[in-house]
Amino acid sequence: MDFQLIEQEAWKRKEYFDHYFKHVPCTYSITVKLDITALKDKKLYPTLLYGLTTIVNRHEEFRTSMNENGQVGVFSEMMPCYTIFHKDSQTFSNLWTAYTTDYTEFCARYQEDMERYGNTEGMMAKPNAPENTFPVSMIPWTTFEGFNLNLKNGYDYLLPIFTFGKYQQDNGKYYIPLSVQVHHAVCDGFHTSRFINELQELIDTLGA
């Protein structure tokens, strides 16, 4: 994993970054319903994690972050850090799984992480999460039309945040809500729309 610093004076987003990070700090979220009918024979959570991570790794605006010195750069690769629920304690834990472009191998790595750390309670069930992870949450008990996280220090957080809800059936098809929360300094509506469209296309392909 590399973190390549951005030469801001030559950066095509410099004007937009300065505006939405320094002058008018702005994050936004959008919630959509993904058609997951094609995934009815797949394990849903690891498949969705694979889909998110694949599209995140296609586009640098979803891999843009800041290092400990406040310098802006782009990770060469991202991995998902996702929540799992413990029924007994009604608490959750975070796990992360190393990414690979091979879908079957990624699902195998996910299963290994679940078997090793899935019953470990505490915020970080799998230790030593690397810097190049992005957060994913699952709320499988309710569906929603909109979802927004209110982060006290959110205006300094550049990576995307994803939240899934409970899937529902409608006219023989299955839909799941997905909230995508991003920082406007690095990600415009075009980029978010492209992400959602490409994710839907990948879901359709994985189920083919």
Q: Which residues are catalytic?
A: 184
Alpha carbon 20 to its chain centroid, in Å, reads: 21
- Tell me the sheet residues that pair with 82: 95, 136
* Tokens at 158, concatenated: 């550049």
For the purposes of burial, counting CB atoms within 10 Å of the CB of 118, is it exposed (0-12), middle (13-18) or buried (19 or more)? middle
Longest dimension (CA), the chain: 53
Nearest in space to 55 (alpha carbons), one of 163, 194, 174 = 194
Measured CA to CA, the distance from residue 85 to residue 160 in angstroms comes to 22
